[in-house]
Amino acid sequence: MLHTPVSVPLRIRLPALLLALLLAGCNVVGASVGAGASSGAGVVFSAYNDFLYTGPGAAYANNKKGLERFLAKDYAGAGDIFATTLSSYPANPDAVYYFGLCRIYLGARDEGFARLASYDDPNNFRITQEVRWWANYCAKKPELTPEKIRQVMNKARGEGYRRQIQEDWDDRLMGW
């Protein structure tokens, strides 16, 4: 018996593909997954595993500009943008994270690591745990370049995000 392939409409295949890539931990260039800039339900990834959460609209928009500068290696300009976000939203996790990395790139390692060690995302315990642990670890390694620190921190932050998603799904499946 021959099986005829089933044609699945593109509007179904594309979201399924993006979700599969996200869950597989692949780097998705310029993709965004989420419900909107003010919903708090989504993430934007870059090819370098840098990502922003959605959140308060003004903070997200400002952080997006900061991330663009950061990716263009304008660490002073990016740091200024993230500092502006922090003046209005002092505990914004994305601004704290990237401001800390900017300070490290600009040679202020102690200040950058102190900022990363203070990282707190009240909605994502696993990410907070990973960022703080790895910031403390990297601070004890003076031989690490800013680029290597960024790679380690991004990997840790991404892993924390994936673990948080997995735990949330497990809790839903268990009915908790």
Task: Please state, for a pLDDT cut of 90, what percent of the chain lies above it.
Answer: 52
Q: What is the CATH number of domain 28-174?
A: 1.25.40
Lowest-pLDDT range, 37-46, 78-87, 109-118?
37-46
Instruction: Report pLDDT digits (tens) over 44-72.
Output: 444 456 778 767 788 999 999 999 999 99
Instruction: Report pLDDT digits (tens) over 124-148.
Output: 888 999 999 999 999 999 999 999 9
Q: Is 60 helix (H, G, I), strand (E, B) or coil?
A: helix
Q: Is the pLDDT of residue 6 over 70?
A: no
Q: Is the pLDDT of residue 168 over 50?
A: yes
Query: Half-sphere exposure of 69 toward its Cβ, with a 13 Å CA cutoff?
Result: 21
Lowest-pLDDT range, 9-18, 71-80, 104-113?
9-18
| Entry pTM | 0.71
| Residues with Cβ within 8 Å of residue 107, at least 6 apart in sequence | none
Neighbours of 136 (CB within 10 A): 12
Q: Is the pLDDT of residue 42 over 50?
A: no
Please say whether the beta carbons of 115 and 100 come within 8 A. Answer: yes
| Residues with Cβ within 8 Å of residue 154, at least 6 apart in sequence | 48, 49, 50
52 phi/psi in degrees, rounded to 5: -125, 140
